Amino acid sequence: MIRYRYFILLLLALHTSFAPAQEQWLLSYQGKSANEFIWDKRTVGLIKSTIPNHLSGKLLDGLGGPPDPVRISENRYFSTSACKPHECFTKSFYWYDMHTGKSIGAILNDGGRLSISSNNINANDIPKSAIGDLRRWLSEIDKTPTQVNFVPSHGKYIRLQAIDFQPFEKFQPTANGPSFDCHKANTKIEDLICKNPELSRVDLELHTLYNNIYYANSTLPARSQLSIFQRNWLRSRDASCNNADNIEACLMDNYKLQKNALMHWLPHQ
């Protein structure tokens, strides 16, 4: 009898360890936007069950505005974000682990205060994958939180170290350009752009236009298409101008043509 009970317990343990992932329907949102996710009837129940009441309503409101893409990494970690309709300085972020059911919601206000909350994660036990996705989001929206609070379902908020939630470092061009770090210029074209103030200016202008279009697209496939479009142009620019009689004039023509192309660019389905 003891052996039989032990065998049953072993089977239950094995079943648990190989149990299907939770909320598999989230996988269907790969390549879609936060708005499509928020329109799903299951979303309200998911967020309300994983995020405390005092934050879940605000989070749902925030995810209904201008959207960012849905991201799914390792076929496990779901995250998405958006900003509040007509109040886009308030931004919302949601993260969910489809293996464990653990989740966090975060709201960043205009003053830089980041509020994080969860029904099943403690302040000192936020998964590294969640922090990494949260920092990536902050990098994309170019925001640095000045204060970070963990808001539990009960009790007072807990202050967290803001340094642990800083966006990933990235190159910040000067007001005069170019868009890249001239200390790392390693081609004749890049070196010339760095030395020519007019070329530096138009390079930064094109980079700014590209970024505006990139982040205006709310799905990863559309963003990927735009990245490929821009990389192909960079290769074409270098190939056509590298041996031109007047490299500066060739580059200026290329930048004008690409600016026009970007302004008329649309992703294909």
pLDDT value at residue 6? 46
Q: What are the structure tokens assigned to 91, written together?
A: 């931004």
**138, pLDDT greater than 80:** yes
Q: What are the structure tokens assigned to 194, written together?
A: 């760095």
**265, pLDDT greater than 60:** yes
**How high does pLDDT run on average in the chain?**
91
**79, pLDDT greater than 90:** yes
Question: What pTM value is reported for the model?
Answer: 0.87
Percent of the chain whose pLDDT exceeds 90 = 87
pLDDT value at residue 269? 75
**19, pLDDT greater than 90:** no
**252, pLDDT greater than 60:** yes
